[in-house]
C-alpha cells in the first residue's frame, strides 16, 4: 500500500509517496533527504529523532507518515544553516552543548520548542524541556548553559528590534 502525503517541511510543501505507516523519521531521512534527525533507539526513548510537528516536539520514530497529511514539520535543518546559524544553534556550538553531536538535532528541537513559549526559562525548565532527549557525552550542564545563553541572546535581539522598530511617542511631536 502506497500513500501520497503532502506536508510542509521546513517551510516548503513536499509530497511523499510511501507506505502510510512509514515512520516520519524514515520519510525524512529517505525520500525527503533530511538526515538531521537521527535514530538512536526506535522507540521514543532517546529523542534523537525529535522534530516539530505543527509546532510541537515529537519523536519522528513514533509518528506514521500517514498521520502527517497537511501538517507542518520542522527539522534541525529548518532552524538555520551553517553560514546563518540561529542563535540557539550558535550557542549550542559555542557553549559546549554539542560533543559527538548525535543527540544535538533532537536537543535543538526540544530547546526550540521551549524558547518559543518561554523567553526566560530557568535552568530547571530547560532540563524539563530536554528530559526526553538522552545525551551520553556532555553531562547535560553545557546543554543547559547553551540554551540559557540562547534565551538571553534572543531576548537581547528582540529587545533591540522592539526598541528600534517601535514608534516612540513624542519623538515626532
Partner 1 sequence: MHTGESLRPSVGTNVVRVDGAQKVTGGARYVDDLPPRPGELHGATVRSRVARAVLRGVRLDPTFDWSDVTVVTAADVPENVVQLIVDDQPVLAAERIHHRYEPVVLLACADRDKLARAVEAVLLDVDELPPVLTIEEALRARDVISGTDNVQKRYLITKGAPDIVRDAAPSDEARATEEAILRELEACEVVVRGEYSTHHQEQLYIEPQGMIAWWDDAGVHATGSIQCPYYVHKAMKRAFHLEPERIHVTQAVTGGGFGGKEEYPSLVALHAALLAKKSGRPVRMIYGRTEDIEATTKRHPAHCTVATGCDRDGTLRALMMRVVMDGGAYVTLTPVVLSRGILHAGGAYRWEHARIEGVAVATNTPPNGAFRGFGAPQTVWAIERHLDAVARELGMDPGVLKRQNLLVTGDTTPTGQAMRGEVGIHECVRRAFESSGYLERRRLGAAVSGRKARGIGCAIFLHGGGFTGSGERLLKGKAAVDLAPGGRLVVRSGSTDIGQGTETVFAQLAADAAKLPLDRVSVATPCTTYVPDSGPTVASRTVMVVGSIVERAAAEVAARVAAVRQPGESFATAGDRLLAREGTVTSLLQYESPAFVKWDDVRYRGDAYPVFAFMCDVAEVEVDLDTFEVTVLRFWQAADVGRAVHPLMCEGQLEGGTLQAIGWALSEELVWKDGAILNPRMTNYIVPTALDAPPFDTMLVEHPYSEGPGGGAKGIGEMPMDGGAAAIAAAVEHATGLAMNHLPLTPERLFAHAGARAVEAR
Partner 2 sequence: MSVVDLPRYPFARAGSLGELCSLVHERCASGERTVLLAGGTDFMAEVSQSPRRDGPLPLVVDISRLPELGAIEWDGRTLRLGAGATYRELAEHHAVREHAPLIARMTSDIGGPTIQARGTLGGNLATASPAADGVAALAAYEPTVVLASVRGERKVRMADFHTGYKRTSRADDEIITAIEVAPPPPGSPWHWRKVGTRQAQAIAKVALGAVAALDGTRITRLGLGMASVGPTTALLPKTRALLVDGSPRDVDLAQLDAAVAADISPIDDIRSTGAYRLHVAKALVRELVRSLANL
Specify the residue, 59 or 104, whose C-beta has the smaller distance to partner 2. 59
- Check residue 50 for interaction with partner 2 (CB under 8 A): yes
Bridge partners of 23? 64
Q: What are phi and psi of 90, to 5 degrees?
A: -60, -45
- Check residue 143 for interaction with partner 1 (CB under 8 A): yes
**Given candidates 5, 16, 58, 98, which one binds partner 1 under the rule CB under 8 A?**
98
> What kind and span of H or E run contains 148?
helix 141-165
Copy the grid coordinates of residue 146: 547553551
- Check residue 160 for interaction with partner 2 (CB under 8 A): no
- Check residue 88 for interaction with partner 2 (CB under 8 A): no
Query: Which of these segments, 64-72, 121-129, 153-161, 163-171, binds partner 1 (CB under 8 A)?
Result: 121-129
- Check residue 32 for interaction with partner 2 (CB under 8 A): no
CA distance 108 to 42: 19
- Calculate the CA 111 to chain-centre distance: 7
Question: 127: which residues sit within 8 A by CB, 6+ positions away?
Answer: 140, 144
Chosen from partner 1, partner 2, none, partner binding at 29 (C-beta under 5 to 8 Å by type):
partner 1
Residue in 40, 97, 94, 31 with CA at minimum distance from that of residue 68: 31
Which positions lie near partner 1, rule CB under 8 A? 29, 34-43, 45-46, 48, 75-77, 79-83, 85, 89-90, 92-96, 98-105, 108, 123, 126-128, 130-144
Amino acid at each position: 500500500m502506497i500513500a501520497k502525503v503532502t506536508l510542509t517541511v521546513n517551510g516548503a510543501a513536499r509530497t511523499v509517496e510511501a507506505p502510510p505507516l512509514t515512520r516520519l523519521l524514515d520519510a525524512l531521512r529517505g525520500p525527503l533527504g533530511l538526515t538531521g534527525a537521527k535514530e538512536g533507539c526506535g522507540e521514543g526513548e532517546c529523542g534523537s529523532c525529535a522534530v516539530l510537528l505543527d509546532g510541537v516536539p515529537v519523536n519522528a520514530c513514533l509518528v506514521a507518515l500517514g498521520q502527517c497529511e497537511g501538517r507542518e514539520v520542522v527539522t534541525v535543518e529548518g532552524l538555520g544553516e551553517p553560514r546563518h546559524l540561529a542563535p540557539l544553534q550558535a550557542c549550542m556550538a559555542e557553549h559546549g552543548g554539542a560533543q559527538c553531536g548525535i543527540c544535538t538535532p533532537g536537543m535543538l528541537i526540544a530547546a526550540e520548542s521551549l524558547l518559543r513559549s518561554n523567553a526566560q526559562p530557568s535552568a530547571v525548565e530547560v532540563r524539563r524541556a530536554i528530559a526526553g532527549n538522552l545525551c551520553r557525552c556532555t553531562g547535560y550542564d553545557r546543554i543547559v548553559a547553551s540554551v540559557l545563553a540562547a534565551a538571553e541572546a534572543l531576548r537581547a535581539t528582540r529587545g533591540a528590534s522592539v526598541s528600534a522598530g517601535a514608534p516612540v511617542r513624542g519623538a515626532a511631536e
